Amino acid sequence: AQKVTQAQTEISVVEKEDVTLDCVYETRDTTYYLFWYKQPPSGELVFLIRRNSFDEQNEISGRYSWNFQKSTSSFNFTITASQVVDSAVYFCALSEEEYGNKLVFGAGTILRVKS
């Protein structure tokens, strides 16, 4: 079974729309970490956020916000007032204590923001 599921393969929005990228994970560990990365057309993965399993507080950073819900095993990412520069592939990833520092990635969501 896939440990990290990003069900949305591709999303297209118009600039200034809000958009939410879904991430559902699966683990039996009580200690784990969740990550979001952005991959712009240049190819390099850019780290966005890390969240540990004991911290369910939502986080906001500028136009970005993250909603972590252990009850539904989800770690969703919302971009408010999207911009063309937000166009990228976004990856959600999981690191479990049992497996050390290894990351398991979802398949990624392609976000296209049109002007």
Partner 1 sequence: DVKVTQSSRYLVKRTGEKVFLECVQDMDHENMFWYRQDPGLGLRLIYFSYDVKMKEKGDIPEGYSVSREKKERFSLILESASTNQTSMYLCASSFRTIQETQYFGPGTRLLVL
| Footprint of partner 1 (CB under 8 A) | 4, 6, 9, 31, 33, 35, 37, 42-47, 50, 52, 91, 93, 95-97, 100-103, 105-108
Q: Among residues 101 and 115, whose Cβ is nearest to partner 1?
A: 101
Tell me the HSE value of 84 on the side-chain side, using a 13 A CA sphere.
Answer: 2
Q: Quote the least distance from Cβ 94 to partner 1, whole Å.
A: 11
Dist CA 36 CA 25 (whole Å): 12
Q: Quote the least distance from Cβ 93 to partner 1, whole Å.
A: 8
Q: Among residues 47 and 69, whose Cβ is nearest to partner 1?
A: 47
Q: Quote the least distance from Cβ 88 to partner 1, whole Å.
A: 13
Beta strand ranges found along 6-108 (DSSP E): 10-14, 19-21, 24-25, 32-39, 46-52, 59-61, 64-69, 74-79, 88-96, 103-105
